[in-house]
Each structure stands twice: as C-alpha cells, then as structure tokens.
A and B are shown apart, each in its own frame.
Chain A
C-alpha cells in the first residue's frame, strides 16, 4: 500500500478540497488552550532534511507535535551525506528504528519519488521540497490562503478556486513552488499566469496548464492574487538578468504596482522575502500581503496532510501517479 505525497500533480480536485477542509478544522486547534490532538499518538515521523530549511522543518515539526506524533529530526547537511548511497542508507536506518513516515527535503529533484518507489523503505513519504521539482505542501498552504481570502473561511468549505485568477511572478525555472502551484491551482479550477523574464521560464513550459507573460504591469489588473517568488541574487551572475535593479524595476512589486491590482486582490509570498528585490518593504508589510498568514496556514495544512496520510489504516488521499514498474 503506497501512501505518499510526492507531487501536487498527484492530487485530484476532491483530494485537494478534502485536505483544505481538513486544514480548516485543524486551524481551530490553534485557537484552543491545549493545541494538541492525540491522533498520531504512537506514530513516529522523521524529518529528513538534506537541505537547510528551518522554516519548513519547524512547520512540519509543529504539525507533527500537535498531532502527538513522536518526532525525529535528521538534518543531513553537507556533501558527505548528500550522495545517493546515503539517502538510501539513511532512510533504511531510520526505518529500522520504526519510523512510520518520512518527511523529506532534498536538493535532488525526484529524491522523494525514488524514496517512495524504489522499495528501499515501507514508510509513507511526504515531499517537503525536492530540488527544482515539487513542494506540494507549500502549494496546498498557498491554495488554503487563497481560498480563505478570496472565497471565505466558512464559505470556502467544500469549495475549490474556480475562476480565480492567480499570477505567479519570479524565478519559475529554479522554483519548485511555481511548479507545484501551477499543478494544484489548475486542479482547483484557478487560472494561472506566470510572469518572469524569459530567461527564468523553463523550456517546455508551453505544455503547462497556464499562461506565460513577460509583462507584469498588464497582468496585475487581472489578478485576484499575486504571488511573488524569491529571486536569488546569485542568478544575475549566471546572466539570467543584468542587474538586481533592472530586475526589480521590471518584475518587482512596489506600492505603485500594487495599486493597479483590484482592491480585493492579495499579495502572497512563500518566503523568505528578499525585500528590495522582488518586493518592497512597503508591500511586504501591507495588510494585503499574506506572507505571515501563509506561515500559520502551513502548520494547519501539514497537520491535515499528516492526518489524512497517517491517521487511519490507509490514506484518505488517493495516489494517482503511476507507480514505477
């Protein structure tokens, strides 16, 4: 029995809505004096992080602990354990200790897929970000944030994002967040437009279920949500764009640009933000920016995913991706 969350593309519309609805109930736990549920008591979850990501790890850890799971953190940073043998050996070692689920963050695209499908381990695998491939829980928490803001907290229950216009701006090429969001938002019925300089859009994007634009200004008035992605300064050394200044002038979100968005439209950012690059401090700190909310919602989403994958005798979320032979 496979029970993994590897890619946002694996989720059906009903799976995704179930996760969002479940997260909505999980969010209420945060308002209680005792922010803990006994649901995963006796289950052991390992957070296997081959890449530094304190935010994501802490978010998963909070979710696991709120569900009473036993948590093991394994941070395997550095080249000595980043080789392939170590992924397999490390995972098998952890499983021998009786781990029920592995939350994995890895620099290599496809590493979680390999872990789930190579017969190395039996534990459930949850992808916490792999290379430039996928980051499904990020996409889920983004969709959750959009649904709350654009549809409504209670009105949103059972609903998808049909007809919502979402614009994703920034480094699409190196970004797993953009990939995951395109997949999930499309599944949820939203219309996605990617905006980036042509150098930061992957060859092959034409088959993605979204529009691509190189012009931010013309896209903003037609957006219900604008998601700004982090652009690493190093990219300019590889000639993806000439200078930081030129990038922010053409693709950064400042107050003037934000004013061109519809009044109800929100600004999103998965963090960490590079203020002054893709987003100005003024926009980042405005009440239209949901960056902090997204962090809080991340815990609820991860609780929902953990519950739905591990809470019963079999997962409630179907796994549609074709298994490796």
Chain B
C-alpha cells in the first residue's frame, strides 16, 4: 500500500504539521516530512482529527432497508468524518441474538466505509421483559459490548438492575434510553409553553430525569457502569453531574440537534423536528452545551435516525420520530461548541472520537494522532460555510432538520486504517 502525506494540517486544531500514513498506520507526525513515494494531500488551514466514532447510529438493516442500509449508512458516516459507528439494535429482526449482530458486523466489514460495531438489545425483542443473550452476543464475532433497547426504555427496575449486573462479567455497558413510559403516553413534544399552545401531547422533562436518577443509583448499587443515551434536559445534566461527583460510573451523550434546536421549531408542525427525546427549550440547550464543555456530558452521539420521506411528509402525530445526523454532526458541533469558544478542536476529538471509542471499547479507534497509531483520520475544512442540501446526502434518507440552514465546516477527507473513504468531499 502506498504512502499518503497529509501536509500542513492543524492536528487537533494546533500548529500545522505533516502526517505520514504508511499502509494502515501513521508512520510519522512532524514538520517538513518527505513526500517521497507518497501521495500528497495539501491540508493547509484544515484541522486533522482522529476518525470520529458514533456511539448511537440507526442503520436500519435488517428490516427497514427502505430508509437505510449498512452500505448507505456507513457511506453517510464516512461523509461525516466517522470511522466507526455503533449500530442500534432496533432492527427487524431485533439485534438480540448473536446471528443478527454478526450479520450487521460483517456487512460493515465487507463494505469497508466505516467499522460497524453492533449494539445488542438488552431484552428480547426490546420488550423489556426478558434479558437477551448478552453473553452470546459479546462472544460472537461482533464482540458486542454496548447493550441498549434504544427507542424503548428499560423501565422495569429489576430488569435494569439485572442487566447492569450481568454485563459486568465481560465489561459491557448498558446504554439507557431514559423515558418513563407512563409519563410519556401520547407524548408528541416537549411539555411546556409551546406544547400548551400547539395542543400536542406533552413530554415532560421529568420522564427522562426520573429514569436517569434511578439508573445512576442502580449503577452505584450494583457497582456497574451505565451510559445515558441522548440526554436532553437541564435537569438530566444536574443528575449526571451529581452522580459523577459521587463517583458513580456513569457516562452520557448528547446529540448535535439537542445542542442547537429548540421546541420553538415545532410551531411549524413540520415533523422533520419530531424526535425522541424531543427538542427542548433554549435553557436546556444552553445547559447541555455547558455540560458537554465541562465534561459532565462525555460525548456527542448522532442518534442518526433515517426515515423514508412518507414517514415525515404527513401530519405531526402520524410522523416517525428521528433525524438523520451523521453528515451534519461535526458542523453542528463546530457551530455550537467550537465557534462559541466552549470547546477546542482537541476537546471535540476527545468527545467525538476518543471517549466514545473508550465507552464502547472500539479498539483501534479514538487513538491519538501520533506515530504507530492506526490511521483513522478525518480532515476538516473549518473555514467552509454553506447551507445544508439534503440532496447531496449519502444517506438513503433526507429527514434532516437543517435543510437550507447555513452550517460551518465540512469534512473533506476520511481515512479508515489508511484507506481513504472520502476524498475532497467525495466518497471513494
């Protein structure tokens, strides 16, 4: 395999350096590296990050290939600068057996755009009643370490406790979709001023916060670690902050859209803004940004949730929940966290690569940009400004809330173990 010299990139946003890739690994990082025998990528002014890792992606295959497949989803991931994604278990059939997770894992390997690490269901059929074969999924070729019933909350306290205990045997983690089901019956959007006006069923913050509070206490009690999916309220931040201060092994993620968008957008009744958890208020958005900056929230995860056009081109109540996010995640983080001065690019690398890889035990990802490390890299043109055009998405679905919105930054190159998956903004 030939060599690639990335010349003059601001590594993690720092001083310009050259990075030389040889085969699957980074051979050298320094200034004035020789380009002999290497293909040169001029990267002056651009920021070089470790390949991004998404702990929360819906690839929809098997079962809903009309909205996304492993191929289209991993192409979208590569477009967005990701080299590894964790695929959620709510497929058809549900990823609750070794067979399903191995299939998804192998599809990712075959396509070669991005490593796909399947997430296993916590309970059989996501029904919250009976533990799935967590051990078998861990021992499978897919080596599952993250388990989640995402889309549904493991609301039964006993099942949650058992799951937290059980995965300790092999260093697994339960990623909880925190949503108290009774408090959210018929819920359509954040409960508050806007829901009262629009007459849409309210989704109270406490429905999320009460589950998080319970789960951090359970995790403490059984001495396990717990991961909180897509935390969305200021109150949730407070609970996680308290839990961490107590030494509880809890990690939390926030989605890009919860860092930027508020429930005011729902006034349009456009289901493109319908998502679970729902868009919250300005106050929540600010609390989430601050928490991501100070480390209370560990990572950004996209909750990339593709849906076919017809599932969004309808009235609000009938529409599916979710937004695509892989191809806009870094831009939204740049706008909300970097351009606002809350986070450096090194901080972004930590929260979108190193930390998610560590939580999900994705070996070879989220490593430092230094000699001897796997060449999983993302090159970002941070000066770029442009409006989002869903027609250009690699994802099969177009349900983005950012259509026509101007966002900063653009991923120009992505390398997965030294192989370019994205060159000059084009998939290979």
Contacts and interface: CB of A to CB of B under 8 A. Distances in A.
Give 3 closest A-B pairs by Cβ, nearest first.
A84-B314, A204-B196, A133-B199
Contacts of A113: 269
A132 B310 contact: no
Contacts of A179: 197, 199
B171 interface: no
Interface of B: 188, 191-202, 204, 268-270, 310-311, 313-319, 404
Contacts of B204: 203
Contact of A131 (B193, B199, B270, B319): B199
B314 A204 contact: no
A296 interface: no
B317 A131 contact: yes
A234 interface: no
A85 B196 contact: no
Contact of B314 (A114, A205, A206): A114
Contacts of B310: 84-85
Contacts, number: 93
Nearest to A113: B269
Interface string A107-141: 11111011101100000000000111110000000
Contact of B319 (A82, A84, A176, A203): A84
Task: Determine which residue in A85, A130, A134, A204 has the highest number of CB atoms from chain B within 10 A of its CB, and name it.
Answer: A204
Contact of A204 (B188, B191, B311, B315): B191
B313 A204 contact: no
A324 interface: yes
A325 B191 CA distance: 24
A114 B316 contact: yes
Given A110-B315, A114-B314, A208 B404 contact: no
Nearest to B311: A84
Given A110-B198, A204-B192, A85 B404 contact: no
Nearest to A202: B196
A32 interface: no
Contacts of B313: 84, 88, 118
* Range of interface residues on A (Cβ < 8 Å): 20 to 34
Contacts of B193: 204, 206-207
B315 A87 contact: yes
Contacts of A204: 191-197, 202
Given A115-B315, A203-B195, 9 more contacts: A85-B310, A88-B313, A107-B317, A108-B315, A108-B318, A109-B199, A110-B200, A204-B193, A205-B196
A83 interface: yes
Interface string A70-85: 0000000000001111
Interface in A194-242: 202-208
A65 interface: no
Contacts of B311: 84
Contacts of A111: 315-317
B202 A109 contact: no
A108 B202 contact: no
A163 to B, nearest CB: 25
B112 to A, nearest CB: 36
A117 B272 CA distance: 14
Contact of A110 (B192, B196, B269): B269
A108 B196 contact: no
A109 B196 contact: no
B318 A83 contact: yes
A79 B311 CA distance: 16
Contacts of B200: 109-110, 131-133
A165 interface: no
18 contacts: A84-B313, A84-B318, A84-B319, A88-B314, A106-B315, A108-B316, A109-B316, A110-B198, A110-B200, A118-B313, A131-B200, A133-B198, A203-B202, A204-B194, A204-B195, A204-B197, A324-B268, A325-B268
